[in-house]
Amino acid sequence: MAEQASIIKRIRAEIGDLQSPFLDTYLGADELASYDLSETGVSQVSAKVTTSDPPASVDLVADVDYVLDTGQGRILLVNPAYSPLHHGQTLIVRGVAEGMFTDADLATYIGDAVEQHAYGRSKVTRYRDAHGFIRYDHDPITLENLPAIEEPLVAYLAAINCLWTLATDAATDIDISTAEGTFVPRTQRYRQLMQHIGDATSGLQGRYNQLAQQLNVGLGRIEMFTARRVSRTTNRLVPVFAEREYDDSSRPQRLLPPIDGEEYADESNVPSPTYPGLWG
């Protein structure tokens, strides 16, 4: 069973987006009630107000004593006892700076990576039911039942999606050249990101493809399909049923493989005759 927290930690290590703790201290002067933190994109924030005369420390409650803007890294005191922060009072804010991506952002990337990596796969469990018949459960592969050996692959695929987001942001940068001879190659950041992402055989994408090919998983895995047959008498597709184990006593499962060629459908709305050649 893969844990989302461990995958997030692995992704941060892959893209160099590690979290860092911070500690900010602000002295009151009866002027300000809003303070900019030293970091943006913060989480796990705790705040308290201390006084020296008399010595005391009060833990502040979020959305009651203060309002926090996690994205911009700004705290606003709303309790009249601390808004504005008075002389002799000290505001202490502790937290964690999440870096370029928040845990919620990475959780979205992980969800997309699991959907892509485990597409069309299921975990088969064999058991005997209450009536003594042997049954098989087919549970889709999710993060909860993902094999442990495939956990790094999901992290690699999510990291690739993160790097594509950074590359999209860097794609709008242009090189700067001044008359004094100063040259700033801002597009180099985009090139380096694309080189790190790589292609089917190089970079992080090639690393994922190689491991996925060895395990035969992912969107590029080798699959075996059943060709559909058309009846010569009715010109209709013959039903196809899922293959079953020898001792599987469950009901047959009908398969509906996709049919190509819908772009050639007749849109004239002219009904076809029951007996061809008689009318129409």
Residue 264 is classified by DSSP as G
Q: Do 3 and 30 belong together in one domain?
A: no
| CA dist., res. 106 & res. 239, Å (int) | 43
Q: Do 140 and 214 belong together in one domain?
A: yes
Q: What is the pLDDT of residue 213?
A: 94
Q: Do 49 and 178 belong together in one domain?
A: no
Instruction: Tell me whether residue 279 is in a domain.
Output: no
CA angle, 102 then 103 then 105, to 5°: 65
Q: Do 93 and 126 belong together in one domain?
A: no
Are the beta carbons of 134 and 144 closer than 8 angstroms?
Answer: no
DSSP 18-56: --EEEEEEEE--SS-SEEE-S-SSEEEEEEEEEEETTEE
User: Token digits for 253?
Assistant: 């499962």
**Range of 6's domain?**
1-18+99-222+229-254
Are the beta carbons of 151 and 6 closer than 8 angstroms?
Answer: yes
Which residues are paired to 74 by β-bridges?
Answer: 36, 69
Structural domain count of the chain: 2
Instruction: Tell me whether residue 263 is in a domain.
Output: no
Q: Do 137 and 169 belong together in one domain?
A: yes
**Which residues of the chain have a pLDDT value below 70?**
1, 261-262, 274-280
Q: Do 162 and 74 belong together in one domain?
A: no
Q: Collapse the DSSP code of 152 into the 3-class scheme (helix H, G, I; strand E, B; otherwise coil) and give the result.
A: helix
Instruction: Tell me whether residue 180 is in a domain.
Output: yes
Residue 137 is classified by DSSP as E
Q: Do 38 and 13 belong together in one domain?
A: no
Nearest partner of 72 among 108, 45, 32, judged by Cα: 45
Q: Which amino acid type is present at position 93?
A: V
Q: Phi and psi (nearest 5°) for 100?
A: -70, -35
Which strand ranges, in their side-by-side order, compose the sheet holding 55-59? 20-27, 89-97, 42-52, 55-59
Q: Do 108 and 246 belong together in one domain?
A: yes
Helix (H) / strand (E) element for 204: namely helix 203-215
Q: Do 177 and 40 belong together in one domain?
A: no
Are the beta carbons of 210 and 96 closer than 8 angstroms?
Answer: no
Domain final residue pick, 47, 72, 97: 97
Q: Do 236 and 123 belong together in one domain?
A: yes
Q: Collapse the DSSP code of 113 into the 3-class scheme (helix H, G, I; strand E, B; otherwise coil) and give the result.
A: helix
Alpha carbon 151 to its chain's center:
14
Instruction: Tell me whether residue 62 is in a domain.
Output: yes
Other CB atoms within a 10 A radius of the CB of residue 194 amount to: 16
User: Token digits for 55?
Assistant: 């010595």
Q: Do 86 and 123 belong together in one domain?
A: no
Q: What is the pLDDT of residue 280?
A: 43
Nearest partner of 14 among 101, 111, 121, judged by Cα: 101
Taking the model in full, what pTM does it have?
0.75
Which residues fall within 8 angstroms of residue 261, CB to CB, at 6 or more apart? none
| CA dist., res. 45 & res. 125, Å (int) | 44
Instruction: Tell me whether residue 68 is in a domain.
Output: yes
Q: Do 31 and 135 belong together in one domain?
A: no
Helix (H) / strand (E) element for 135: namely strand 134-140
